[in-house]
């Protein structure tokens, strides 16, 4: 064998070795890339979105919910009773349900809450308790594990002991209230109610990244 042939054979062996070595590493490279892809942050559509829900008898909570929507840029849904309540009869039925801790009959709520979080629920106070439609809605098991914030509006007074009592009652059902916003709105105009919403969120922001705007 000439020197020339030996050099050529050695090169061929090294070449074959390098090709085989690279091939054996290929799966690791591939896995590394696949792994990198799977740790990509969730796309916007996969991220959870806040949702605002409200119940209103005389319209104030609709104003609160729509101002929250302006501030948080998210969807709003109304919690509706099965039959429309109005006038003195509406007042009597509502007061009765809350005095005797009765549930309200609600229209079916069809929205899927899977991707919704946090959930903000706006409700009036009736007889020192959260309104019966909101209380009934809060029994929905789909709310378990969500960050729930309550916006409770009233005309004059709501005892802090009552607030704590209700939080404990909900916690026993697996519903954890992350925050309660007390909205004293008796005698306030629509503009004043909106300003109150802004003031409350400035004091206790819900979504940190928008805290400067709120």
Ligand X SMILES: Cc1cc2nc3c(=O)[nH]c(=O)nc-3n(C[C@H](O)[C@H](O)[C@H](O)COP(=O)(O)O)c2cc1C
Torsions phi, psi for 148 (to 5 deg):
-105, 130
Of 51, 52, 53, 57, which one interacts with ligand X (CB under 6 A)?
Answer: 57
Stretch that binds ligand X, among 29-37, 56-64, 71-79, 81-89 (CB under 6 A): 56-64
The pairing of strands 116-126 and 129-130 is antiparallel
Our finding on whether 185 is near ligand X (CB under 6 A) is yes
CA 148 to each of CA 51, 111, 206: distance values in angstroms, whole numbers, following the listed order: 10, 16, 10
Residue 168, classed as helix, strand or coil, is: helix
Number of residues that bind ligand X (CB under 6 A): 20
The number of CA neighbours under 13 Å toward the Cβ of 198 is 10
Our finding on whether 133 is near ligand X (CB under 6 A) is no
| Min separation Cβ 97 and ligand X, Å | 9
Stretch that binds ligand X, among 5-13, 69-77, 152-160, 170-178 (CB under 6 A): 152-160
CA 193 to each of CA 124, 150, 156, 200: distance values in angstroms, whole numbers, following the listed order: 13, 16, 14, 11
Q: Give the x-and-dash track for 82-111 against ligand X (CB under 6 A).
A: ---------x--xx----------------
Residues that bind ligand X (CB under 6 A): 56-61, 91, 94-95, 124-128, 153-157, 185
């Amino acid at each position: 064998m000439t020197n020339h042939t030996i050099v050529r054979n050695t090169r061929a062996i090294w070449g074959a070795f390098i090709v085989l070595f690279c091939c054996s590493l290929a799966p690791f490279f591939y896995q590394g890339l696949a792994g990198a892809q799977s740790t990509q942050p969730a796309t916007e559509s996969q991220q959870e979105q806040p949702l605002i829900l409200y119940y209103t008898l005389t319209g104030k909570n609709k104003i609160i919910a729509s101002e929250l929507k302006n501030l948080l840029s998210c969807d709003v849904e109304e919690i509706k009773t099965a039959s429309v309540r109005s006038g003195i009869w509406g007042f009597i039925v509502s007061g009765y349900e809350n005095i005797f801790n009765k549930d309200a009959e609600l229209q079916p709520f069809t929205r899927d809450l899977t991707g919704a979080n946090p959930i903000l629920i706006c409700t009036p106070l009736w007889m020192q308790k959260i309104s019966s439609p909101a209380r009934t809605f809060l029994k929905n098991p789909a709310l378990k594990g969500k960050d729930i914030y309550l916006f409770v509006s009233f005309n004059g007074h709501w005892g802090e002991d009552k607030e704590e009592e209700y939080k404990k009652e909900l916690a026993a059902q697996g519903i954890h209230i992350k925050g309660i916003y007390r909205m004293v709105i008796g005698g306030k105009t629509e503009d004043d109610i909106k300003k109150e919403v802004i003031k409350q969120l400035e004091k206790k922001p819900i979504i940190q990244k928008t805290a400067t705007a709120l």
